[in-house]
Structure formats: C-alpha cells, structure tokens
A and B are shown apart, each in its own frame.
Chain A
Amino acid sequence: MKHRTPLFLTLLVLVLTAPLLWWTLEGDYSIGSVKLAFAPAHGLAFFLNLAPALALGALAFGLVKLRDRLPRFRMQGKIESFKEKPWAIPLVLLVLWLPGLFLGSKGLSQATFAAQYVILAVGLNITVGLAGILVLGYSAFLAIGAYSFAILQQWIWLPWWLALPVGFATSALIGWLVALPCLRLRGDYLALVSLGFAEAVRELLRNGGDLTGGDKGIVIQMTNRIHGIGPFSSQQVAWMGAATLALLSVAVVDRIYRSRLGRAWVAIREDEIAAGSMGIPVVRMKLLAFALSAGFAGLAGVLYGGFTVFVDPSVCTFEESVLVLAMVILGGLGSIPGSVAGAILLFLVPTWLRDWFPAMQDYRLLIFGMILVAVMLTNPQGLLGSRRHRLEIEEGKP
C-alpha cells in the first residue's frame, strides 16, 4: 500500500490542476456570464515549458541521492576558522576582487547583488539559525539601513562608505528596541511581531511624506554614491566593496559562532529553559542576537543604496524577507557556509533562468517554490546543515 502513495499523489495533483490548466474561461461580458472552453494546447504548453526544469530537477535529485552514497567528507576539516589563519583574509579578498576585472557589467551587477544577499543571509542566520528566533520581517532592517543612509545624505555630505557604520548602528538600535518588549513572547509569536513590524515600516515609508519621499523614493546624491576610483569603474568598485563586506560579515559571524557568545546562542536554540538554568542570560543574549542581525541588514541596506542609487519602499517587502529566509533555511540552519551557498544559489538561479531560458521567464518563481518544497521534504535540515549538525553531535560540541 505504502509504495503506491507517490503514484496516488501524482494522480491527485493532476486531477486538481486539470480544471485550471486544460480549460480556459470565456467571458461574455454583455450579460456578465462565463463559459468554459476546452483548450488542450494551453495545458500542453504549460507542461512543455516546465519540462526542462522538471528534467533538471530530476537530475539534481539523482545527484543528491548519489552524493549520499559517497563517503561523507568533513566540512570542518576544509574550512578553517579565520582566526587560525588571519592572513587568509587579504588573500581571499584578492581572489574575490579578481573576477571584477573581467566580468561584464551584467555579471558585475549580479555579483554585487549576490554579495549583498550573502550579507543578509549570514546576518539572518544569527537569529534564525544560531539563536533559534524566527524572523519573518527581516527586510524591514534592510530598509531601515538603506533609508537612514538615503535620508541623511540629503542634508549632509555622507558618502556610502561613511554611511556603513551609520546604517549598521541605526538598524541594530531599532532592532534592539523592537525586540525589547517582544522577547517575552514564544518564538513563533516573535516571528509574527517581526512580520507586522515590517508591514508597518513599509507603510510608514510610503506615508512618510517629504521625509521618505513616499513611493517616489529617494535618489542618492551624485557625490554619495559608489563611483569609480582610478582605473576602476563604479560597478567594479561596488563589487569590490560588496565582496569585502560580505567576506567581513562571514568572518565576523564565523568568529562569533565559535566564541562563548555563539555557544550560548546555540544552547538557547536547543533548550531555552536548560540554558537559562545553566546561567546564560537568555533575554540579553536574544536581544544581542536580534540587534546584531538587524545591524548586518542595515549594512546591506547602505550598500544597496550605494549601488542602485535609489531607495524606495519596495526594498521592504514580504517577498524579500521570505527570499532571505529561504536562503538561510535552504543552506542549513546555523551553518555559515550553508547561508553563503543558499544566498548565491537562490539569487543566481532565478536570474540565470531569466537570462538563459527566456521562454521560462514566467516559470522561475514556480520552479523556485518547487525547489524549496523539494529540499525541505528530502533534507529538512537544509543542504549543508544536516552534516554540520550531525558533526556537532558526534563530536560532542554544542
């Protein structure tokens, strides 16, 4: 009986999708009525367009299955802490900067966005992955960082690199203030408050009159944008800046993860009450996690303002929050390499789908959703998370 389930589910889905796929509505608006018309071409086109993606998906699934059979290789042996080899940072930086000289303008702008998402994913990983607090409104802090830069630079000279600490501090402060009254709430409730907070922030930005420019947004002044230095074009500088910040974020979070602080967060995530009774100041630790996480989003926000030269309320949307959350979850909760991989994958794959398969342009979000569901079903701990988690348990580390 059990082995028939997939067949049964496939049939169920085929039946449920059939009415919308194989028939089209034909409206007769003079009397305000509708009729159905059988449209086999319509349904067939849907499956034909989806076929390459499904084939790719099946291939990827096969590869994952294959990988599970291979002997597991240990992540911790490969990726050393930057503390042990501090000289690695400039080296990695140079290697990161290098492609900037060769990539075309399109590639550069994609790389810069990808780096921005790495900062966001690593930042969100602090709350969701390490401290176990679900945040559904992360984009609010991205917007706060971007707007604190955009608003201030209207009045004073504030180039983007100078605005970075400002954005970080503003976001972190507001994150701390928001979390302060809410940490009494259980985890899933805090998630809702953060969601509500993000919606409220977006509406405030839209209704903010001349201060926020409403939906017209704010254009960053010429002098404060990211612009070219010497032989490098503005896009190359943006990429270098973004890559540097992304690397620094990864290094910082990685260091924290391995410190007392990180261990305290993981302890809270695993069992809040036990952690509290072991003497960990639970509330203060959670506040710190929230503020720090918000700060990284603020950093990404300033960067965003610097290279898109324009900030508007669409920075702060639920879709944006969900995208970053999906990056963290897909990569694996609490896993920093996982977040990096998740960010790059989930940003670049839809973009490439758009560029390489223009016919599939409209299908990319559908495919994105399918991937998310499929990964969760096959690998609920995320792609890189499970091994990491198992490793921790094996070695008896927190």
Chain B
Amino acid sequence: MKLSTRLSLAATLLAMASCQKKDDTIKIGLTGVQTGPDAAIGTAPINGSKLAIEEWNAKGGILGKKIEMVVRDDEGKPKTATAVAQELISAGVSAVVGHFNSGCSIPASEVYNQAGVLQITPASTNPQLTERGFQNTFRICGRDDQQGIVSAAFARDTLKTQVIAVLNDKTAYGQGIADVFKKTFETKGGKVAVFEGVGTEEKDFRGAIASIQKSGATAVYWAGMFVQGGILYNQLREAGFKGALLGGDGMFDNEFHKTTQGKADSVFLTFGPDYNAKPEAQEFLKKYRAKFGPEGSYSIYGYDAANVLLSAMAKAGTTDAKAVSQALRSQSWKTLGGDVSFDAKGDLTAAGYVIWTARGGKFVAR
C-alpha cells in the first residue's frame, strides 16, 4: 500500500506540473522535419511561417489576440509525426502549418481531422493527402500528379522523347510522382522502358544505369531528392549517357549544383513559378535572409501558408476550423506567388508548375 500511496502522490504532482495556464493567445502549430538529412530543407518553411506570424503580431495580432507559435520537430518520421500531432492538439493549437514530408502529413492529417484542427501544408505534394475527403486539410503547394503530368508532357511534347526510364527513391513522394509520370507518359504514346525503385540510402546507380542503357531510353526521370539526383546525374554522364535528366521539386536545391560541379546541362525540373521577378517576394527574401540566413526552396511557401491561414481566420472572425475552412474556400488569396484559391479537396485550383532548367550552376525558369 505504501508504494501505491507514493505513486498516486507522484501522479498528483505530475498532474499539477502538467496543468497549463490558459492565456489570451491564439496558438498556431508549426511543424516539419528539423533534424536529420532533410533538416535544412524542412526548416525553411517553418522560418517562413515564423516571419509571417511575427508580421501579424507586429500589426497587433488577430481577432484582438496575439499569436503564439508552437514549434515541434517531427524528425521526418511518420511515427513521430502522429505523436507531434497529438501534442499540438493538446497544446491547444487552432491550426497547424505543416508537415513537410508527405509521409508525415498523411498520417498526421488523420489525427488533426479527428480532433477538428485545420492543417495547411507548405510542401507535402502527395495526392493521397487531399484525396480522403477531409474538410480541414489544405495545401499551398502543388500535387505530385500535377507535377508528374507537367513533366511527362514536357518530355513527350517539347523534348520529343520516345523511350524513357523512370527511377524512384521508394518513398511516398517518389513512388507517387513516378506513378503519375509513367501513366501520363504512356497515354501520350511514349514508352517507359525501365521503371524501378532504389532505396534512399543508395549511392551507386551503376546497376540501374546498365539496365537503362540496354533498354534504349533516351531520357531519365528521377523521382526523388537532390542528393541522389546529383549522384545519378554524375554517374549517368560517367557511363556515357547523353540524354536529359528530368525530375520533380525534390531535386530543386542548390546542393545539386555542388554535386554536379555546376556543369549540369539538360536537367529539367518541375517547380513553382519564378518569384525572382516579383518585388514583394524580393522584399520577403531580404527580410528572411537578414533573420535566418540563406533561404530554402520552400521558405516562401511557409510564409504564404501562414499568411493565407491568418487572413482566412480574420475573415471568418473565429478560429473554429469549420468556419475557417469555409472561408479559405470562399475566395482567392493574395500570396507572393500571385493569387491562389482552393478547391473542394483543399488543393490549389491552379498549381502553376513550370519547367526549370539547370544553367551555369543555377536553376532558371524556362
């Protein structure tokens, strides 16, 4: 009995310690991968959102209250992501900007949906995320199928590729985008000669390249991230393969040019529209660099996601997820990339993927 008394005392103490003060702020959860190999690319949208929220707070907050950020690291792992989702809900967040990886967003969205918390992701592009009829799930980036379609159309119509090889990194992202690419390419009359997955740990593609060269493919589509993309490019050229390398937004990182010595040519990626021409974006980037250092590819998306979310809350006049999600769908919103609006699923009505190409150690819009 002594033991149990002691335990219940401990439990009471714990309960007292865990009691949270209720204060007059609106809490927004910011989450994504912040540790591990994807740390740099995953922290960028979170920093973008932070900047947006700080701007709102400087203007006096929203609905008469200050905005509080609750930042959590999902480590890029689905398991941690669902735990983080539960933590955010219990911390009392009204909405969440995140997660980064599709593999994290999908299971976490189940948790948010159950709890009636609104989620808007700046970077998860897997179609499955918005295909399950959740009213509270939004994304401010494109979808892999849109990406795959744009890429496949470009390969077929502009590059006139007849036979192509498709490699993916076996992640939810890679498989999804590869599947759509294959389907579109084939309906457009092309032939996918090689369709294979290699693990994310693979750094020697010579085995797959031998198959590609034998198959007679004149271009390769890489559905994966930039580190492996750079290695694949080098090894393709080493093996004497002269064709084009196509890819998705996962390849879009300056590290790609370091690996390829800035000499990459005929590399074609799908990514969002070119922000460099827009003065508002320039102003954002200046502020961002002053605060966080060099921006990542998704910094702007994080900023846009938070801004659109808060504007919708202001319009709805409440933080209630149902009202906010109705407000989000009701009109078009001004972002750094232009005006956007959401469809019934929570996707952008116009994804606006364009083809970028590598030139002189940089990606430039084509």
**Min CB–CB distance A10 → chain B (angstroms):** 29
Q: A94 to B174: give the CA distance in the assembly, Å.
A: 47
Q: Is the CB–CB distance between A206 and B14 below 8 Å?
A: no
Q: How large is the interface on A (under 10, 10 to 19, 20 to 34, 35 or more residues)?
A: 35 or more
Among B312-366, those with CB < 8 Å from A are 361
Q: Chain B: which residue is nearest A31 at the CB level? A: B261
Q: What are the residues of chain A within 8 A of B262 when measuring CB–CB?
A: 29-30
**What is the 8 Å Cβ interface bit string for chain B, positions 1-23, against chain A (1 contact, 0 not)?**
00110011011101100101000
Among A284-324, those with CB < 8 Å from B are 308-310, 312, 314-315
Q: A311 to B83: give the CA distance in the assembly, Å.
A: 13
Q: Is the CB–CB distance between B90 and A104 below 8 Å?
A: yes
The stretch from A43-51, A119-127, A214-222, A373-381 touching chain B is A214-222
Q: What are the residues of chain B within 8 A of A104 when measuring CB–CB?
A: 18, 20, 90
Q: A309 with B111: in contact, given A32-B261, A99-B11, A105-B86 (CB under 8 Å)?
A: yes
- Residue B79 lies at the interface, judged by CB distance under 8 Å to chain A: yes
**Min CB–CB distance A328 → chain B (angstroms):** 21
Q: Chain A: which residue is nearest B175 at the CB level? A: A214
Q: Is the CB–CB distance between B14 and A102 below 8 Å?
A: yes
Q: Is the CB–CB distance between A235 and B86 below 8 Å?
A: yes
Q: Is the CB–CB distance between A95 and B170 below 8 Å?
A: no
Q: Is the CB–CB distance between A105 and B82 below 8 Å?
A: no
The stretch from A106-114, A274-282, A386-394 touching chain B is A106-114
Q: What are the residues of chain B within 8 A of A309 when measuring CB–CB?
A: 82, 107, 110-111
Q: A234 to B90: give the CA distance in the assembly, Å.
A: 12
- Residue A349 lies at the interface, judged by CB distance under 8 Å to chain B: no
- Residue A252 lies at the interface, judged by CB distance under 8 Å to chain B: no
Among A18-34, those with CB < 8 Å from B are 27, 29-30, 32
- Residue A192 lies at the interface, judged by CB distance under 8 Å to chain B: no
- Residue A361 lies at the interface, judged by CB distance under 8 Å to chain B: yes
Among A161-207, those with CB < 8 Å from B are 206-207
- Residue A362 lies at the interface, judged by CB distance under 8 Å to chain B: yes
Q: A110 to B90: give the CA distance in the assembly, Å.
A: 13
- Residue B276 lies at the interface, judged by CB distance under 8 Å to chain A: no
**Min CB–CB distance B20 → chain A (angstroms):** 7
Interface centre among B14, B90, B172, B176 (most CB of A within 10 A): B90
Q: What are the residues of chain B within 8 A of A312 when measuring CB–CB?
A: 78, 103
Q: Is the CB–CB distance between B79 and A103 below 8 Å?
A: no
From A32, A91, A106, B4 is in contact (CB under 8 Å) with A91
Q: Is the CB–CB distance between A99 and B35 below 8 Å?
A: no
Q: Is the CB–CB distance between B11 and A102 below 8 Å?
A: yes
Q: Is the CB–CB distance between A103 and B15 below 8 Å?
A: yes
Q: A105 with B172: in contact, given A98-B8, A309-B111 (CB under 8 Å)?
A: no
Q: A109 with B86: in contact, given A219-B106, A361-B73 (CB under 8 Å)?
A: yes
- Residue B231 lies at the interface, judged by CB distance under 8 Å to chain A: no
Q: Is the CB–CB distance between A215 and B86 below 8 Å?
A: no
Q: Chain A: which residue is nearest B13 at the CB level? A: A102
- Residue B258 lies at the interface, judged by CB distance under 8 Å to chain A: yes
- Residue B204 lies at the interface, judged by CB distance under 8 Å to chain A: no
**Min CB–CB distance A360 → chain B (angstroms):** 12
Q: Chain B: which residue is nearest A320 at the CB level? A: B79
Q: Is the CB–CB distance between B14 and A29 below 8 Å?
A: no
Q: Is the CB–CB distance between B172 and A216 below 8 Å?
A: yes
Q: Is the CB–CB distance between B258 and A102 below 8 Å?
A: no
Q: What are the residues of chain A within 8 A of B174 when measuring CB–CB?
A: 215
Give the total of B residues in contact with A, Cβ under 8 Å. Answer: 44
Q: What are the residues of chain B within 8 A of A234 when measuring CB–CB?
A: 114
Q: A150 to B226: give the CA distance in the assembly, Å.
A: 32
Q: Is the CB–CB distance between B107 and A310 below 8 Å?
A: yes
- Residue B215 lies at the interface, judged by CB distance under 8 Å to chain A: no
**Min CB–CB distance B92 → chain A (angstroms):** 10
Q: A361 with B35: in contact, given A105-B86, A309-B82 (CB under 8 Å)?
A: yes
Among B1-58, those with CB < 8 Å from A are 3-4, 7-8, 10-12, 14-15, 18, 20, 35
- Residue B171 lies at the interface, judged by CB distance under 8 Å to chain A: yes
Q: What are the residues of chain A within 8 A of B103 when measuring CB–CB?
A: 215-217, 312
Q: What are the residues of chain A within 8 A of B266 when measuring CB–CB?
A: none
Q: What are the residues of chain A within 8 A of B106 when measuring CB–CB?
A: 216, 219, 310
**Min CB–CB distance B180 → chain A (angstroms):** 14
**Min CB–CB distance A32 → chain B (angstroms):** 6
- Residue B77 lies at the interface, judged by CB distance under 8 Å to chain A: yes
Q: A107 with B14: in contact, given A215-B103, A312-B103, A314-B78 (CB under 8 Å)?
A: yes
Q: What are the residues of chain B within 8 A of A217 when measuring CB–CB?
A: 78, 103, 107, 172
From B12, B14, B82, A308 is in contact (CB under 8 Å) with B82
From B3, B107, B126, A219 is in contact (CB under 8 Å) with B107
Q: A216 with B18: in contact, given A105-B90, A113-B83, A310-B110 (CB under 8 Å)?
A: no
Q: A109 to B79: give the CA distance in the assembly, Å.
A: 11
Q: Is the CB–CB distance between A215 and B89 below 8 Å?
A: no
Q: A94 to B8: give the CA distance in the assembly, Å.
A: 10
Q: Is the CB–CB distance between B86 and A103 below 8 Å?
A: no
Q: A361 to B175: give the CA distance in the assembly, Å.
A: 31
Q: Is the CB–CB distance between B18 and A103 below 8 Å?
A: yes
Q: Chain B: which residue is nearest A234 at the CB level? A: B114
Q: Is the CB–CB distance between A103 and B14 below 8 Å?
A: yes
- Residue B87 lies at the interface, judged by CB distance under 8 Å to chain A: yes
**Min CB–CB distance A239 → chain B (angstroms):** 12
Q: Chain B: which residue is nearest A96 at the CB level? A: B7
From B7, B10, B77, B170, A214 is in contact (CB under 8 Å) with B170
Q: Is the CB–CB distance between B78 and A27 below 8 Å?
A: no
From A106, A206, A216, B128 is in contact (CB under 8 Å) with A216
Q: A91 to B5: give the CA distance in the assembly, Å.
A: 12
Q: Is the CB–CB distance between B87 and A29 below 8 Å?
A: no
Q: Is the CB–CB distance between B87 and A105 below 8 Å?
A: yes
What 4 pairs across the A-B complex have the smallest Cβ distances? A105-B90, A102-B15, A310-B107, A99-B11
